[in-house]
Amino acid sequence: MGILKLAIIIATVIGAAKGIQLFNRHCRRRFGHTFFTMRSFWIAAMGINLVWWGIYFWANATLHHTHLSDGLILMGLGVATAAWLVYENVRDTDLVHGIGGTSLQLALFFPLALCSFPLLIIVMVFMVVASFKAGPALFADR
């Protein structure tokens, strides 16, 4: 029974991946638009992270008795970013393909966007620290 469950899970994952590839290839042939690009990932990641952190700050504001507006503003910016992604996809395709492709983008990019954001912050801090230049040793000794 365990092997059957594993086979069903593997078949489902492979089928979903193949379906997404076929959908992307169909949209590229029909409309000349590719949904899964680096630019669309960054737009989706910004929207997802803004909404995620907006919800986090909104929930913490109620716990700490501070203003709710910070979280609400972040959520609004995230929804506006996601709406821009929907607009671009619908503009480049038609309504059904644009909304379907955007929902696929947001669903597939969600885990990667949440995991990559803290890693991106760590890398940015490391780059800032690594880019500091110390003066020559003869000036430090004086």
pLDDT tens readout for residues 66-124: 888 889 999 999 999 999 999 999 999 999 999 999 999 999 889 888 887 777 788 88
d(Cα 28, Cα 37) in Å, to the nearest integer?
12
CB neighbour class for 20 (10 Å; exposed up to 12, middle 13-18, buried from 19): middle
CA–CA separation, 16 and 131 (whole Å): 43
For residues 90 and 95, what is the distance between their CA atoms, to the nearest angstrom? Answer: 5
For residue 82, what pLDDT is reported? 94
* pLDDT digit string, tens, across residues 36-62: 888 998 899 999 999 999 999 999 988
Long-range contacts of 112-116 (CB under 8 A, 24+ apart): 112/41, 112/45, 113/41, 113/44, 113/45, 113/48, 113/49, 114/48, 114/49, 114/52, 116/45
What DSSP state is assigned to residue 30? Answer: H
Model pTM score: 0.75
Average pLDDT across the chain, whole number: 88
Rounding to the nearest 10 degrees, give the CA dihedral for residues 12, 17, 21, 22.
0
CA distance 77 to 75: 5
